[in-house]
Amino acid sequence: MSLKDKRILLIIAGGIAAYKSLDLIRRLKERGAAVTPVMTKAAEEFVTPLAVGALSGGTVFTDLFSRTQEQDVGHIRLARENDLIIVAPATANLMAKMAHGLADDLASAVLLARDCPVLLAPAMNPKMWSAPPTQRNLATLLMDGVETIGPMKGEMAERGEAGKGRMAEPMEIVVAAEKRLDDSPRPLAGKHAIVTSGPTVEAIDPVRYIANRSSGRQGHAIAAALARLGAQVTLVSGPVAIADPPGVETLHVESARDMLKTVEKALPADIAVMVAAVSDWRAADTAQQKMKKKPGEAPPPLALTENPDILKTIGHHARRPRLVVGFAAETRDVTAYATDKLARKGADLIVANDVSEEGVMGGGHNRVTLVTKSGAEEWPDMSKDAVAERLAHWIAERFVAQASLPF
Ligand code: CTP
Full domain range(s) for residue 41: 7-181
H helix or E strand, kind and range, residue 138:
helix 132-143
Residue 235 CA to residue 266 CA, distance in Å, equals 10
Closest CA to 21 of 93, 114, 88, 82: 88
* pLDDT-based confidence at residue 126 (cuts at 50, 70, 90): very high
Residues 233 and 296 in one domain: yes
The model scores a pTM over 0.75: no
Residues 203 and 129 in one domain: no
* pLDDT-based confidence at residue 133 (cuts at 50, 70, 90): very high
Q: What is the pLDDT of residues 37-63, one digit of tens each?
A: 999 999 999 999 999 999 999 899 988
What pLDDT score does 183 carry? 75
**Ligand 1 centroid from CA 273, angstroms:** 12
What pLDDT score does 81 carry? 83
Residues 25 and 99 in one domain: yes
Residue 216 CA to residue 208 CA, distance in Å, equals 21
C-alpha 256, offset from chain centre = 22
Q: Please check the confidence at residue 234 and state whether its pLDDT lies above 80.
A: yes
Q: Please check the confidence at residue 404 and state whether its pLDDT lies above 60.
A: no
Residue 327 CA to residue 206 CA, distance in Å, equals 31
Q: Is the CB of 276 under 6 A from ligand 1?
A: yes
Residue 357 makes CB contacts below 8 A (sequence gap 6+) with 367
Q: What is the pLDDT of residues 296-339, one digit of tens each?
A: 999 989 999 999 999 999 999 999 999 999 999 888 888 899 99
* 206 part of a folded domain: yes
Q: Is the CB of 354 under 6 A from ligand 1?
A: no
What pLDDT score does 76 carry? 78
Ligand 1 atom with the smallest distance to the CA of 329 is: 24
DSSP bridge pairs for 329:
353
Number of domains in the chain: 2
* 383 part of a folded domain: yes
Q: Please check the confidence at residue 168 and state whether its pLDDT lies above 90.
A: yes
* 186 part of a folded domain: no
Q: For the domain that residue 94 is a member of, what is the CATH number?
A: 3.40.50.1950
Ligand 1 atom with the smallest distance to the CA of 328 is: 24
**Looking at residue 42, what DSSP letter applies?**
G
Residue 110 CA to residue 108 CA, distance in Å, equals 5
Tell me the best of 222, 259, 278 to mutate to test the pocket of ligand 1, counting ligand atoms within 8 Å of each CB and taking the most.
Answer: 278
* 187 part of a folded domain: no
First to last CA, the chain: 30
Ligand 1 atom with the smallest distance to the CA of 330 is: 24
CB of 51 closer than 8 Å to CB of 83? no
Residues with a catalytic annotation lie at 212
Average per-residue pLDDT in the chain? 91
Tell me the best of 258, 259, 345, 366 to mutate to test the pocket of ligand 1, counting ligand atoms within 8 Å of each CB and taking the most.
Answer: 345
Q: Please check the confidence at residue 67 and state whether its pLDDT lies above 70.
A: no
* pLDDT-based confidence at residue 77 (cuts at 50, 70, 90): confident
Q: Is the CB of 278 under 6 A from ligand 1?
A: yes
Integer angstrom CA distances of residue 329 from 117, 259, 314: 46, 19, 19
Residues 48 and 76 in one domain: yes
Residue 85 CA to residue 110 CA, distance in Å, equals 9
Q: Is the CB of 351 under 6 A from ligand 1?
A: no
Read off φ and ψ for residue 135, nearest 5 degrees.
-65, -35
* 83 part of a folded domain: yes
**Ligand 1 centroid from CA 257, angstroms:** 14
Q: Please check the confidence at residue 72 and state whether its pLDDT lies above 60.
A: no
Residues 105 and 236 in one domain: no
* 214 part of a folded domain: yes
Helices 18-30 & 49-56 angle (0-180, nearest 10): 10
Q: Is the CB of 361 under 6 A from ligand 1?
A: no
Residue that is last in its domain, among 181, 211, 238: 181
**Looking at residue 61, what DSSP letter applies?**
B
Q: Quick check: bond before 406 cis, omega within 30?
A: yes
Q: Which residue has the higher pLDDT, 299 or 406?
A: 299
Read off φ and ψ for residue 266, nearest 5 degrees.
-80, -10
What pLDDT score does 406 carry? 60
Q: What is the pLDDT of residues 337-369, one digit of tens each?
A: 999 999 999 999 999 988 876 655 656 788 899
Residue 254 identity: E
Q: What is the mean pLDDT of residues 64-89?
A: 78
Residue 121 CA to residue 80 CA, distance in Å, equals 21
Closest CA to 118 of 161, 75, 93, 87: 87
Residue that is last in its domain, among 118, 146, 181: 181
Residue that is last in its domain, among 181, 213, 233: 181
Start-end of H helices in 152-255: 170-181, 217-228
Q: Please check the confidence at residue 403 and state whether its pLDDT lies above 60.
A: no
DSSP bridge pairs for 353:
329, 368
Q: What is the mean pLDDT of residues 175-182?
A: 90
Q: What is the mean pLDDT of residues 9-34?
A: 97
Residue 53 CA to residue 60 CA, distance in Å, equals 6
Residues 140 and 171 in one domain: yes
Q: For the domain that residue 278 is a member of, what is the CATH number?
A: 3.40.50.10300
**Ligand 1 centroid from CA 274, angstroms:** 9
Q: What is the mean pLDDT of residues 133-139?
A: 95
Q: Please check the confidence at residue 70 and state whether its pLDDT lies above 60.
A: no
Compute the C-alpha angle 28/34/35, nearest 5°. 70
- Would you list the DSSP string of 301-314? P--EEEPP-HHHHH
What pLDDT score does 69 carry? 56
Q: Is the CB of 274 under 6 A from ligand 1?
A: yes
Q: Which residue has the higher pLDDT, 236 or 162?
A: 236
Q: What is the pLDDT of residues 382-396, one digit of tens each?
A: 999 999 999 999 999
Residue 382 CA to residue 50 CA, distance in Å, equals 43
What pLDDT score does 156 carry? 67
Helices 92-100 & 106-113 angle (0-180, nearest 10): 40
H helix or E strand, kind and range, residue 342:
helix 334-345
Q: Whose CA is nearest to atom 18 of ligand 1?
A: 328
Residues 125 and 198 in one domain: no
